[in-house]
Amino acid sequence: MIYLLLFLISFFLTYIIKNYAIKKSLLDIPNARSSHTTPTPHGGGIAIALTWFAGILFLYYHHDIPKTLFDALLVGMLISGVSYLDDLFTLKAKSRLAVQAIVAVLGLYCLGGFSTLNLGLFTIDNPIVTNLFAFFLIIWFINLYNFLDGIDGYAGSEALFLSLAAFLLFGGSHFLVLAVAVLGFLFWNWHRAKIFMGDVGSTLLGYNVAIFTIYYANQSSLNFWIWIILFGAFWFDATLTLLRRFKNGERLSIAHKKHAYQRLNQSGWSHSKVVLASIMINITSLLLVYFSPSIFIAFALVMMMLYACIRWIDAQKPFQ
C-alpha cells in the first residue's frame, strides 16, 4: 500500500510542479545543444526527491532500512537542494563542485568509508586509496548522471531499471521506494516530455547510485562489479565521451551533444526508440550478471557489448 501511495504522490507532485512551472515561465528553452525543440517545464525531479525522502523516512521509522545506508542517502538532500538552486539561478561550476565534494565526504563518513576494492587478480584495502577512489566515484556519478539526462525518459528509465534490478539481486524496500518515486515522474517525462527532471533529480539519482555501489561493495567486494555492470550504459558512454573530447583538445566545461545516446538521436532515432534500446542493453547486462559463472566474465562481456554499440553509433553519426 505504501508503494502505491508514494507512486501517487510522485505522480501528482510532478503534475503540480509542471503546471506551476508553466505558470511562472520556468521553462527549458531549446538551444543548439538541446535535444528538444519546444520550451518545456523543468524541475520535475523535485517530485522524485520529495517522494524518495518521504519514503526512506517511512522505512527508517519502521526499521526497514539499515541506519548507515539511511544516513548516507539522507545526505542527498544537500545535493538535491543545491541542484534545484542551480536549476533556477545557474550556480558557478566551482560552487557546485564544492558542494559535491562535501556531499561525497559526508556520504562516505556515514557509510564508514569504502573498505575494499576487489580487482580480481588482487584487492586494494588501503583506506587512503579506497576512500579517495570512492570520493571521486561519487562526484563522477553525480555529474555523469546529470550529463546523460538529455532526452525524454532516458534518466528516469535508467533509475527505474537500476531500482528493479537491484531489488531482484539484493532485496531491500528502499529500491522499491526509488522505483515508484521515479515511475510517477516518468509518466510525465516519456516522449514527448511534458516536464524535465532538471539537476535537482539527476544529481540525486547519480548520488544514490554511488552510495548503493559503495554500501553493497562493503557487504561483499564483488558487489561493486555488479553495480558497475548494471550502470554500465551510463558510465561507459559518459567516460568514453569525456576521454574522446579530451583527446580532441576540447574544453571539457563546455556543453555539447556528443554522447552516444545524443548522436543516436541525431541520426534519426526517436527519443523513445533510443530509450527502449538502452533498456534492452540494460536487461542484457542484468542477464549476464545473473547467469555468468564469474562476475568478471560478465563485466568483460558487457564491456565488449557496450564498445560494439558505441562503434555502431559512430558509424551512424560520427564523433566529431
The whole-angstrom separation of Cα 310 and Cα 163 is: 25
Give the mean model confidence (pLDDT) for residues 92-110.
Answer: 96
Model confidence at 283: pLDDT above 90:
yes
Candidate from 3-7, 84-88, 104-108 with smallest mean pLDDT: 84-88
From 193, 173, 165, 170, select the one nearest 271 (Cα to Cα).
193
Pairwise CA distance, residues 9 & 2, whole Å: 10
Of residues 36 and 183, the one with the higher pLDDT is: 183
Question: What are the tens digits of pLDDT across the range 124-140?
Answer: 999 999 999 999 999 99
CA pair distance 140, 146, nearest whole angstrom: 10
Calculate what percentage of the chain has a pLDDT beyond 90: 89
pTM exceeding the 0.85 threshold for the entire prediction: yes
**pLDDT mean across residues, the chain:** 95
- From residue 315, alpha-carbon distances to 235, 236, 254, 311 in Å are 21, 18, 25, 6
Task: Give the three-state DSSP class for 212.
Answer: helix
Tell me the C-alpha to C-alpha distance, in Å, between residue 222 and each of 49, 111, 137, 159, 213: 29, 17, 17, 21, 10
Reply yes or no on whether the pLDDT at 193 is more than 70: yes
- For residues 285 and 200, give the distance between their C-alpha atoms in angstroms, rounded to a whole number: 28
How many CA atoms are closer than 13 Å to the CA of 232, on its beta-carbon side? 28
Q: Per-residue pLDDT for 37 more than 80? A: no
What is the mean predicted confidence (pLDDT) over 11-23? Answer: 96
Residues in CB range of 103: below 8 A, 6 or more apart: 75, 76, 78, 79, 138, 142, 207
Q: What is the pLDDT of residues 197-217, one digit of tens each?
A: 999 999 999 999 999 999 999
Q: What are the strands, taking DSSP E only, across 59-136?
A: 117-118, 123-124
257 pLDDT above the threshold of 80 = yes
pLDDT, mean of residues 216-240: 98
Q: Percent of the chain beyond pLDDT 70?
A: 99
- Rounded-to-integer distance, Cα 16 and Cα 108, Å: 35
pLDDT confidence bin for 32, thresholds 50/70/90: low
Grid cell of 315 as nine digits: 558509424
Phi (first) and psi of residue 123, to 5 degrees: -120, 155
Assess whether pLDDT exceeds 70 at residue 93. yes
List 27's β-bridge partners, or say none: 41
